[in-house]
Amino acid sequence: MKPAGVKAIKEELKIRSREELIELCLNLSKFKKENKELLTYLLFEADDENYFIKGIKEEIKTQFEEVNRKSYYYIKKSIRKILRNTKKNIRYSKKKQTEVELILFFCKMLGEFSPSIKKSIPLRNIFEREILRVQKIILSLDPDLQYDYGIEIEELQEKS
């Protein structure tokens, strides 16, 4: 089955009744965990972005504590999984400031990680790639935020 385009879906949703829309949303939430997570964000967390960011930061912190430290191979796999989850949550928000906050927090946790990422080229590359990504995003933000985040990036780069 070929999925319909966004425009066609939008037109069809306009035709449907309120009850049908509720049923469609509930059916969506039953099929994939990501759909349920997105609906949860939109319904409960989109109004309070700071609460959402705080929750994701706690999740990131917990995931870093659970990393398998037996070898750099397992560390790298775990770090990539944490980054993947972080980016998934960023997609829900679609706000640049939220993206910067969460990626900088991820980089901070990675920089403070023990054993040091300095001994692993792939981990170092992940760190540097995310810093570059954040620097590009910051350019589209308010000048005051650019300055604040610029200082935070410099501190992160000095520590690691």
- CA angle at residue 59 from 54 to 63, to 5 degrees? 150
Evaluate if pTM is beyond 0.75. yes
Q: Please tell me the predicted confidence (pLDDT) of residue 108.
A: 94
Q: Please tell me the predicted confidence (pLDDT) of residue 115.
A: 87
Q: Please tell me the predicted confidence (pLDDT) of residue 39.
A: 84
Asked if 64 and 117 touch (Cβ cutoff 8 Å), the reply is no
**Mapping DSSP to helix (H, G, I), strand (E, B) and coil, where does residue 157 land?**
helix
Per-residue pLDDT tens digits of the chain, which is 160 residues long: 777 888 888 888 888 899 988 888 888 888 888 888 888 888 888 889 999 999 999 999 999 999 999 999 999 999 999 999 999 999 999 899 999 999 999 999 999 998 888 888 999 999 999 999 999 999 999 999 899 999 999 998 887 7
Domain extents in the chain: 48-159
Q: Please tell me the predicted confidence (pLDDT) of residue 83.
A: 97
Q: Please tell me the predicted confidence (pLDDT) of residue 74.
A: 94
Q: Please tell me the predicted confidence (pLDDT) of residue 129.
A: 96
Q: Please tell me the predicted confidence (pLDDT) of residue 89.
A: 93
Q: Can you read off the two tokens belonging to residue 153? A: 């990036």
Asked if 93 and 52 touch (Cβ cutoff 8 Å), the reply is yes
Q: Please tell me the predicted confidence (pLDDT) of residue 110.
A: 93
Asked if 43 and 25 touch (Cβ cutoff 8 Å), the reply is no
